[in-house]
Amino acid sequence: VDMSVDLAGRRLPSPMMTASGCAANGRELGRFFDVAELGAFVTKSVMADPRSGRGTPRMAETPSGMLNSIGLQGPGISSFVENDLAWLKRSGARTLVSIAGNTSGEFADVAATLRASDAFDSVVGVEVNISCPNVANRGLVFACDPLASAKVIALVREQLPRDVPVFAKLTPDVTDIVTVAQSCVKAGADGLTMINTLLGMVIDTDLLRPQVAGVTGGLSGPAVRPVAVRAVWQTRAAMLEGRLPFVPIIGVGGVRTGRDALELVAAGASAVQVGTATFNDPSAPVRVGRELAGLLQDKGFARLADVVGIAHERL
């Protein structure tokens, strides 16, 4: 089965990616598999300056998923490019760099520093994280506001060469994700990654207090998979109906098996990210890719590309 994907002009050998934030910047997972086997390694969202993140505890488990309030812990863009991106390049990884900022100008500065770095030739795209649920600034999530999203995307797009695609990472916490997608694509996004975590909360019923120090947090894992499938489906439907240009969708949310990945692909995703599942199985992103290829083979498909959005033809 031909598992290669054309992602906004970049040919990747596999549709499988890590999901941002769940495996730091490569070294941890590099002990379990060859990071060059992935279509792309997606890094933890990096900001301009180093950041220690939220107080602890930052994670809570639920029967169907995980809640996090990490709060964008990270080394800052300078250290990231010198250490993490350099390591990913040496390892032969194709890297999709996730960037974040408190303001649209900060997003642009991070993109500019990234572009100027020695390892930039290993970057196959930039994922603009406008959807972190744990940013402390006035409770504002850029991706809840189509205009604010467009401003960030346009500024980042300006900083990068045309052949480096920009992906907007969207939040499911909006009434209409298609409206945000339209705004991002109009502003220059070459693709869409959906979804980030869903805002949630867990209370410790022994201590009768919130389980994570951030009080609310981002819900991930199996609980959000149907939400991701719905978001990808609605966005692909908008493309088929002419309400949105055809841009690649990267599906993410609760994928643990090849069947889970196939669900997102059939809904319209060209690539699939695996995040929370790596906590139980660090090689999950490559295992899911093998399982997906096996399923396609069993069903008689020669190319993954033939299955993208296929469920829309079978209503």
Using CB under 6 A as the binding rule, the residues of this chain from 57 to 76 that contact ligand RRO are: 68-72
Per annotation, catalytic residue among 22, 132, 144, 184 = 132
Helix axes 146-159, 177-186, angle to 10 degrees: 30
* Paired residues of 219 in beta bridges: 67, 198
Per-residue binder mask for ligand RRO (CB under 6 A), 200-239, x = binder? ------------------x---------------------
159 touches ligand RRO (CB under 6 A): no
197 near ligand RRO, rule: CB under 6 A: yes
Least distance to ligand RRO from the beta carbon of 21, Å? 5
Give min distance, CB of 62 to ligand RRO, in A: 14
What whole-number distance in Å separates Cα of residue 261 and Cα of residue 278? 14
> Residue 239 to residues 3, 70, 82, 182: CA-CA distances in angstroms?
23, 34, 39, 10
Q: Does 45 bind ligand RRO (CB under 6 A)?
A: yes
Q: Between 72 and 238, name the residue whose CB sits nearer to ligand RRO.
A: 72
Residue 184 is among the residues annotated as catalytic for this protein: no
Site for ligand RRO, residues 103 to 142, rule: CB under 6 A: 129, 131-134
Say how many CA atoms lie within 13 Å of 13 toward its Cβ: 10
Residue 35: what residue type? V
Closer CB to ligand RRO, 72 or 296, in the complex: 72
Catalytic positions, written as ranges: 132
Binding site for ligand RRO (CB under 6 A): 21, 45, 68-72, 100, 129, 131-134, 196-197, 218
